[in-house]
Amino acid sequence: MNSRRDFLQKIGVSALALHLAPLAGWANNTTNNEKTYDGKVLRVAIMGLGSYGTRVAEAMQSCTKAKLVGVISGTPSKVKAWQSKYGIPEKNCYNYENFDNIKNNPDIDAVYVITPNGLHHDQVIRVAKAGKHAISEKPMSVNAQQGQEMVDACKKAGVKLLVGYRMHFEPKTLEVIRMRQAGEFGKIMFFQGQCGFTIGDPTQWRLNKQLAGGGAMMDIGIYAINGSRYMTGEEPIWVTAQETKTDHEKFKEGVDETIQFQFGFPSGAVASCLSTYNMNNLDRFFLDGDKGFAELQPSTGYGPIQGRTHKGELTQPITTHQTVQMDEFAGIIFDNKKPVVPVDGEEAVKDLKIIDAIYQAVKTGKKVDIKLS
């Protein structure tokens, strides 16, 4: 497996919780295409035409509230291929040097930045200055300071900043959250998040400190960080962490191979998590309360997400994560819709503050307090 994209497998499919009636039309692409929608459509340009950008583009073909209308890439051949495949006009095509000119293009509402982590900060700020809504893939940046600068820039420009937290719309995940909020698990005691795969090509950007901002933590570990928050319904107040590195040639200074980290929460609940680029078969969340439990495995892959609780299997219809995400983003941008779990820049800064604290705990070997407010 050469990347997170390979590890997380093929097109995302998951389930719809019964309480999410408005999303029922996304049970499959046929139903989705038959839905009538006469509201405002979010017109999106994708920046970064790699494997995940391609996945998002494909998923958007089934959207009812969002449409792919533009591309930004440094590779002319990719631009031409996308133009042909998705019917994108020449006037909506840009490169990394001239994309500031989107400010003069009324046909683009938002730009989805799907480039290496280390580039998000500058690119999102440029998008904001061009007066367009910004969508950033996660992690939003390489540290909390840069993340806050992105939030501030978008606020100053009067545009919205959203982050590609597709799991925040995943129906089995939302059902677990609903059950927890309803008290069906009782007092939450413990969360476990395991995220990892064996990474391939040692020359790829994910193993480049400058481009990635780190190693496995910045790529796959963020799922356990974010998951610990929405699964428990609390924010961590301290962290301890330990790094293991077996291949110093592949995982150079500042590029983590494996980190185990532990959180403490205000209620007394604790979490034990693992982020790695050196082990396969790790994509599992487990939540334990004094009255019940929930397990998702796979928990964050593109699909199908599978889960069970003390009440039995979680069984809902199939959706494509990125299709639902982009349609939901349209509602957030145009109608100020409030998702069950936030997907805005402030949410992403919290994850970045936690990542900063994890790296500090690894470096010092000490328990580090976390302050998210």
DSSP 194-223: EEE-----TTSGGG-HHHHSSSHIIIIIHH
Instruction: Report pLDDT for 35.
Output: 56
- Nearest-angstrom CA–CA distance, 101 and 93: 10
- Nearest-angstrom CA–CA distance, 35 and 63: 10
Peptide bond before 171: cis, by omega within 30 degrees of 0? no
Domain with CATH 3.30.360.10 in the chain: 169-315+345-369
Instruction: Give me the residue label for tokens 């291929």.
Output: 81
Residues of the chain below pLDDT 70? 1-35
177-219 pLDDT tens trace = 999 999 999 999 999 999 999 999 999 999 999 999 999 999 9
- Which residues sit opposite 368 in a β-bridge? 239
What letter would DSSP give residue 137? P
Phi-psi region at 253: left, alpha or beta (left = phi > 0; alpha = psi -120 to 50)? beta
Candidates 3.10.20.580, 3.40.710.10, 3.30.360.10, 3.20.20.150; CATH matching 169-315+345-369: 3.30.360.10
Q: Where are the alpha helices (DSSP H) in the chain?
A: 4-7, 29-34, 51-60, 76-86, 117-129, 144-157, 171-181, 209-212, 216, 222-232, 321-335, 345-364
Please say whether the beta carbons of 280 and 202 come within 8 A: no
Closest CA to 71 of 87, 41, 93, 52: 93
Q: Which of 65, 132, 138, 160 is catalytic?
A: 138
- Nearest-angstrom CA–CA distance, 7 and 30: 27
- For residues 96-115, one letter each, b for 16 or more C-beta atoms within 10 angstroms of the residue's C-beta and e for the rest, the string is eeebeebeebeebbbbbbbb
Please say whether the beta carbons of 151 and 161 come within 8 A: yes
- Nearest-angstrom CA–CA distance, 305 and 317: 11
Q: Name the architecture of domain 4-166.
A: 3-Layer(aba) Sandwich (3.40)
| Total number of residues shown for the chain | 373
Q: Exposed, middle or buried by CB within 10 Å (0-12, 13-18, 19+), for 181? A: exposed
Instruction: Give me the residue label for tokens 């349209």.
Output: 330
Q: Which of 223, 230, 302, 359 is catalytic?
A: 223
Instruction: Report pLDDT for 36.
Output: 82
Please say whether the beta carbons of 348 and 140 come within 8 A: yes
Instruction: Report pLDDT for 18.
Output: 34
Instruction: Report pLDDT for 303.
Output: 78
Domain with CATH 3.40.50.720 in the chain: 4-166
Q: pTM above the 0.75 mark?
A: yes
- Nearest-angstrom CA–CA distance, 162 and 39: 20
223 noted as active-site residue: yes
- Nearest-angstrom CA–CA distance, 287 and 279: 22
In order, the DSSP letters of 29-45 are HHHHHH----SPPEEEE
